[in-house]
Structure 1
Amino acid sequence: MSTAAKGLFISFEGIDGSGKSTQTKLLKDRLEADGHQVVLTREPGGSAGAEEIRALVLQGDPDRWSARTEILLFTAARRDHLERTILPALEAGKIVICDRFADSTRMYQGLSRGDLRGAVDQLHSLMIGVEPDVTVLIDMDPGEGLSRALSRNTVEERFEDFGESLQVAMRAGFLSLAAEFPDRFVTINGAQSIDAVAADVFAQVRPRLDAR
């Protein structure tokens, strides 16, 4: 991470239904049991202003916003989240676990909804300037992931309404990002049991903790 923060910044990524939200909670519990101070947060959201933007972008018709508008909205939410939640926690020496971060915007708006990856990266460099220390990618079959996501009955249906074709593109995109940033990404097989995935996640995160 390109800051002088004393903490550790962990993000989780994956297609809808991959189980990453469950794994963020399990990792938080494991780290707290080991005596670490942990902040569990999410994107979009994680601060008061960002949560308001979350309600705008995750509800309504799939065509409510253009991909370019979404990039601006997500970047605004991320900036507020960074200022009010992430950086203060890291500067206090805490571990921040975030359910999605900039890689999701690189994929959803920058790639899967238009060839706008360059615009996403330019805005990220200008307004955010921070990458996680480690990004855990929970890899999952797109069809199974979508089935899981639709069975949750959550209000965050907008992107799920794009269907399996988006899931397929997202999975390929995340795997491409993992290859692009091998020092930051670790890829976990999400088809395993919840406990097996959690064990693999902790095994990958622990060396980063020890290296602090």
Structure 2
Amino acid sequence: MMARPRLLLSSLVLGAGLVAAVLTMPLATAAERAVVIPPPAVDAKAEGGTAKAVFAGGCFWGVQGVFQHVAGVKNAVSGYAGGSRETASYETVSSGTTGHAESVEVTYDPAKVSYGQLLQVFFSVAHNPTELNYQGPDHGTQYRSEIFAVTPEQEKVARAYVAQLDKAGVFPEKVVTKVSGLRGFYPAEAYHQDFLTLNPTYPYIVYNDLPKIGNLKSLFQGLYAEKPALVSQARG
């Protein structure tokens, strides 16, 4: 198992110059290139109020950061899904034995962004859905690609989209993303929340996650929100 380095932020500040360089370098240099994919042929019905969706796609820092910049998203919380409440802590989940995956719970306005659009961002920008039980430098089942459907309709839409993407052959390998019903979502520790925004010069973020924000802005201009929907603001 390979996990992210511990949070020694005071000794790992790189400066704004390197951040700017990463954001302007070719997309495939610092992180995997995003894949342009078609929207889902089947989408969930738009309803009033708010809805929730839960996605797992490697380190939750980057997945959270991406969805926080999607217009119509009211909140995106890093946490754990797939296991029990008793084992929902970073140290325990990092063992890879709990059944949990690092996940992000997205609260969104279906009138502004659909579940299908969130799925499109998830598959195209937020992670690589062809990597089995790992994402980039992070290895273990806790970094797997999985969609935790909150409703039967979400499960139907997600399964149909996985089949659609595989049939279209938009990825060089088969999509390995699991689709399952959500049994519970447990928010991660406070220091994991808003990590990308609060630590833009942290090396892991610079090399692995900031390019995802650039990809989102480039490929989904109509969905991109410059100001992130932060957990700290939602709580305040």
Q: Give TM-score, length-normalised by structure 1.
A: 0.31
Structure with higher strand content:
2
Structure with higher helix content:
1
Q: Give TM-score, length-normalised by structure 2.
A: 0.29
